[in-house]
Amino acid sequence: TRSTRPQRMLKAVQKNGTKGNPESVISAIDYFCKHSEWAMNVGDEKGSILDSVVTEVNPSTVLELGTYCGYSTVRIARLLSPGTKLITLEFNPVNAAVARQIIAYAGLQDKVILVEGSSGDLIPQMKERFGIMTFDFIFLDHWKDRYLPDIKLFEECGLLRKGSVLLADNVICPGTPEYLEYVRNSPRYESKYYPAHLEYTKVEDGLEKSVFLG
């Protein structure tokens, strides 16, 4: 059967990237998306904002919802302190298989735990399966209709602590209006919008950073 876009992206990383060099993997994916095929990685512009928030938080416990090809996984993992691991959840097994290879090509496999399944099923299992008390940093980049139910799940499961930072992609395009309304109007969050553009385009998009106040 015909290859998928993530599988073609992996080939481009193996051809144009340097094994063990995360920056070269990030650049190879951005080049592929700009010159070969658009793909829904967070991209370089929003990726730089992601980098700055991760660096500012310097998290010990990290969760990513939506691995896709592992682009943002590599961006985050390359910035983590030694010994810190990030957990990333991916629903699509074909994409998960590509992401594992891209993360390994970057040399970051020891900093990443990739779990296949749906966020709704896996979030309640975080404490028992991975010994997590609370998350310092969460990146939401899976499916717009899951942002609100999943943030409520984090609250119900006691996975947030005073100061936990949630960063959400695509809050303008395709848009997550119910999630935005919730985090911007809830007294339990301090929210801030970072304007940017849809990856590799001139279309308006942005990231919403929300700090849990306890």
Catalytic residues: 141, 144, 169-170, 199
Q: Does 173 interact with ligand 7JF (rule: CB under 6 A)?
A: yes
Residues contacting ligand 7JF: total by CB under 6 A: 11
Candidates 28-36, 54-62, 91-99, 133-141 — which segment interacts with Mg ion by CB under 5 A?
133-141
CA angle, corner 41, sides to 38 and 44, nearest 5?
95
Q: Does 90 interact with Mg ion (rule: CB under 5 A)?
A: no
Cα 15 to chain centroid, rounded = 24
Candidates 54-62, 83-91, 100-108, 141-149 — which segment interacts with ligand 7JF by CB under 6 A?
141-149
Q: Does 174 interact with ligand 7JF (rule: CB under 6 A)?
A: yes
Which residues are bridge partners to 63 per DSSP?
87, 138
Q: Does 44 interact with Mg ion (rule: CB under 5 A)?
A: no
Among 64, 141, 150, 208, binds ligand 7JF (CB under 6 A): 141
The interface mask with Mg ion, positions 157-176, x = CB under 5 A, is ------------xx------
Closer Cβ to ligand 7JF, 44 or 169, answer by number? 169
Q: Does 205 interact with Mg ion (rule: CB under 5 A)?
A: no
Q: Residue 150 in 3-state DSSP? A: helix
Site for Mg ion, rule CB under 5 A:
141, 169-170
Site for ligand 7JF, rule CB under 6 A:
40, 66, 141-143, 169-170, 173-174, 198-199
